[in-house]
Structure 1
Amino acid sequence: MTELDLEAEYNNRARVADHMVHMDGWHRDAAAYRAAALCELDLAYGPGPRHRVDLFHPPGGDAGGPVVMFIHGGYWQGLDKSSSSHLARGANERGLTVAVPSYDLAPHVTLSGIVAEMETAADFLMQRSGRSLIVAGHSAGGHLAACLMARSVKSLKRPIRAGLSISGLFDLVPLVSTSVNRALGLTIEEARRLSPIYDQPPADTRFVAVVGGAESAEYRRQSRDFVTQWNAMDALGSVHEVANAHHFDVMAGLADPDDPLVDMLIGLADAA
């Protein structure tokens, strides 16, 4: 593909004309859920002002399974945990505790630094809860969730073997020539090193790569290729396409306890 094609494929805001309507809705719904939910807000997992995580607890009591760690998107250079609180609702109502962390953003930190912050957050949550994690995330958060699984055997206190990546980015090399990379400053070599598609998953890894049916061909290809690559290394992964969904509404089902995305989390919890 040409550079112009890649720019169009990865520029999600240009592809969805009313993206700000959806993003404004995230913040509205997230604030409403924080006000109503059983939650612990702004727990410190590190020294910086953005090294904070919110915990959302099931209203009917925790079922005792793994904690879901949901990582927000924003191409590693925007948003924070406050945009995603409402996405804990579906899992909460099915008995799972959900953690939503913030992290420092590019260009103030490198992408390697962001990955390291999420590793610190994951260790904090596992130590605090005494439980394993299911890692989940949207867009850049989907990339970070896959990185946590891929690096967990070497970098974390215990492996992470279950994940749900929504509109994830698993091969960063195509982004190097796009405007996304202005803040990241990745070389081809760094992009490859930070691409979980090239990493070995932990033994017995289970994951689902979710993508919207109305997303770009590159996003859909990335999910297919990631599943193919990790399954070839003895993981158990699948692709789930949300019909007619675009980049800004593909994860909306996480707020609904009866949605298939929440069913997937429950399935991952049962296997974790």
Structure 2
Amino acid sequence: MSGIDYEVEYNNRARVPENPALMAGWARDAAAYRLQRAPRSMRYGPGSRNTIDFFAGDGQGPVVVFIHGGYWQALDGSSFSHCARGLNSHGIDVAVPTYDLGPLVSIDTIIQQMRAAARELARLGRPLVISGHSAGGHLAACMLATDWPALDTSLPTELVIAAYAISGLFDLVPLVETSINKALGLDGESAKAASPLFWRPPAQGILDAVVGEKESAEYHRQSRTIAESWGAAGIATRSGTIGGANHFTAIAPLAEGGSPMVLRLKALARR
């Protein structure tokens, strides 16, 4: 037995009681930004949630993608439009996809949907920097570790040049015995299969894995372990903390053009 109470470690809503107000703030800020800078709507599949909000910058260089969290079972991209603001202020294009949710679909299906979204964005003819929060951080790492030409010979090996995972989950096995799994239906085998920590590491690219200072020890372990594992395999990795942040405030710097988070993403997109 590990001796770790995974329910306590991964139940972020219980850890941050003020989460309803923080999430309401996301929706409010996102709606305000959409009024200020209306996105172009793109589709990557036939489903009602197979959409991408594209917040145009100057149309130059890589596109930064932001994938939302919600433990693969809640929320959608429209609550995170304001996360494009900081990068847009530097002229960087930002794409915010939405995906189907558990229990209607599996995590594997969501991974496939985000690959389909990346393939649609590849039609723009520019590389992608994939960022994401929580479950979105997991999906960002999955995109970096994807062998794109194996899926479609027309796609470049370096379609995804970097992943920036905020409070990401890369080892899903600890979730199996938690209440989070009620909507996900994972067992040990499927959890490991959906965990990028256990995949073949990316052959190229950069991974940043950052986590809020006030998050649980397991979230810190998740980011540290993926950075160490993939770094040992030969790609450039960083792990770090977001000072004073909990799981819900960790993404706040994305809305500020001068924040270290935005400046790092700008560097990844403009390198």
Shorter-chain TM range is: over 0.9
Shift of the alpha carbon at 1:202?
A: 2.9
Partner of 1:94: 90
- The answer to whether the 8 Å contact 1:200/1:233 transfers is no
Paired with 2:231 and 2:51, the residues of 1 have a C-alpha distance of 34
Counterpart amino acid of residue 104 in structure 1: D
Paired with 1:83 and 1:152, the residues of 2 have a C-alpha distance of 30
Give the number of aligned pairs.
265
Paired with 2:161 and 2:197, the residues of 1 have a C-alpha distance of 15
Q: Does 1:194 align with 2:194?
A: yes
Partner of 1:70: 66
SS in 2 for 1:20: helix
Give the direction of change, closer, same or farther, for the CA distance of 1:96–1:201 in structure 2 (3 Å limit): farther
Counterpart mapping for 1:119-130 below 5 A: 119-127=115-123, 129-130=124-125
Q: Does 1:141 align with 2:141?
A: no
Partner of 2:56: 57
Partner of 2:217: 217
Question: Residues 62-91 of structure 1: CA distance to partner in whole angstroms, max 9, x if unpaired?
Answer: 3x1100111000000000011110000011
Paired with 1:95 and 1:54, the residues of 2 have a C-alpha distance of 16
SS in 1 for 2:211: strand
Counterpart amino acid of residue 73 in structure 1: G
Shift of the alpha carbon at 1:191?
A: 0.8
Shift of the alpha carbon at 1:38?
A: 4.8
SS in 1 for 2:146: helix
Partner of 2:100: 104
Unaligned stretches of 5+ residues in structure 1? none
Q: Does 1:249 align with 2:249?
A: yes
Paired with 1:207 and 1:88, the residues of 2 have a C-alpha distance of 20
Shift of the alpha carbon at 1:39?
A: 2.2
- The answer to whether the 8 Å contact 2:202/2:230 transfers is no
Shift of the alpha carbon at 1:200?
A: 2.5
Partner of 2:181: 181
Question: Residues 126-166 of structure 1: CA distance to partner in whole angstroms, max 9, x if unpaired?
Answer: 11x11110001000000011111112343362332301000
SS in 2 for 1:17: coil
Paired with 2:75 and 2:38, the residues of 1 have a C-alpha distance of 23
Which of 80, 83, 87 is the aligned partner of 1:84? 80
Paired with 1:71 and 1:12, the residues of 2 have a C-alpha distance of 18
Paired with 1:245 and 1:96, the residues of 2 have a C-alpha distance of 25
Question: Residues 146-192 of structure 1: CA distance to partner in whole angstroms, max 9, x if unpaired?
Answer: 11111234336233230100000000011111111111111111111
The two structures have a TM-score, normalised by structure 2, of 0.95
The alignment-based identity, stated in percent, is 49
Paired with 2:85 and 2:242, the residues of 1 have a C-alpha distance of 19
Counterpart amino acid of residue 205 in structure 1: G
Unaligned stretches of 5+ residues in structure 2? none
- The answer to whether the 8 Å contact 1:91/1:98 transfers is yes
Shift of the alpha carbon at 1:207?
A: 1.6
Paired with 2:239 and 2:175, the residues of 1 have a C-alpha distance of 22
Counterpart amino acid of residue 50 in structure 1: R
The two structures have a TM-score, normalised by structure 1, of 0.94
Paired with 1:155 and 1:181, the residues of 2 have a C-alpha distance of 29
Paired with 1:49 and 1:87, the residues of 2 have a C-alpha distance of 22
SS in 2 for 1:214: coil
Provide the aligned C-alpha RMSD in A: 1.2
Partner of 2:170: 170
SS in 1 for 2:182: helix
